[in-house]
A and B are shown apart, each in its own frame.
Chain A
Amino acid sequence: MSMRTNIDLDEALLAEAAKYSTSRSKRRLIQEALATFVAVKAEERRRATYRERLERVRGRLADVRLRSDLRDLLRADRDSR
């Protein structure tokens, strides 16, 4: 789905963005820029919530006592492949 819009764009910024793109049209360049923006911001958000989610997971796993020694488990994995 697409929408038509009229917007004033900073020409210098547009020219700078074009240096990082192979898009030939302004339309494609702006679409590419928006897609990159969304990907970068989504990644930032995931990273930002990492510590918070880490605390939650650790809290839930605090009582889990493993029978396996993690070093031995990894060693066995590397030795047996």
Chain B
Amino acid sequence: MNAYVIDTSVTLGWYLEERFSEAARAWQDRLLGGKVRLITPSLHYWEFANALRTLVTRDEIDEGTAHEIYDLHLDAPLELAEPERGQVLKVAFEYGATAYDAVFIALALARELPLVTAERTTTRWVTKLGKRVEPVR
């Protein structure tokens, strides 16, 4: 079964309607259908929670909904893995990315897996990763 590293940007679209939700949900269907394995670092969950928190502070969703989405997402059959801590800063400089982006990039590079992301294709690290990125649009 093919494995991929998945970025937080994609999983947000699993629950909330976005321009890229359809493409994001196609990845979720592959996961739930047992066709792919999706791997993510623990940072993913903290970013996911913070995105929900921001949507609540902007009055776009209510707090109950945020909890419901977060609790549900904790049960999504994602696999947890961490990059080598020593690699994150190096990768951040090398790819012109924030350290937070670099956590996902370093994990994908170390495991030689494509990175599934909804990040814009014009972003520097996305361009630099080239074919190692599976863009979600």
Contact = CB atoms under 8 A, between A and B. Distances in A.
Interface stretch (A2-10, A13-21, A26-34, A70-78): A70-78
B65 interface: yes
B60 A68 contact: yes
Interface of B, secondary structure class, is: helix
Interface size class of B (residues with CB under 8 A): 20 to 34
Interface of A, secondary structure class, is: helix
Contacts of A58: 15
B64 to A, nearest CB: 10
Contacts, number: 78
A37 interface: no
B32 interface: yes
Contact of A66 (B17, B76, B120): B17
Interface of B: 8-9, 12-20, 32, 47, 50-51, 54-55, 58, 60-61, 65, 68-69, 72, 75-77, 98, 100-101, 118-120
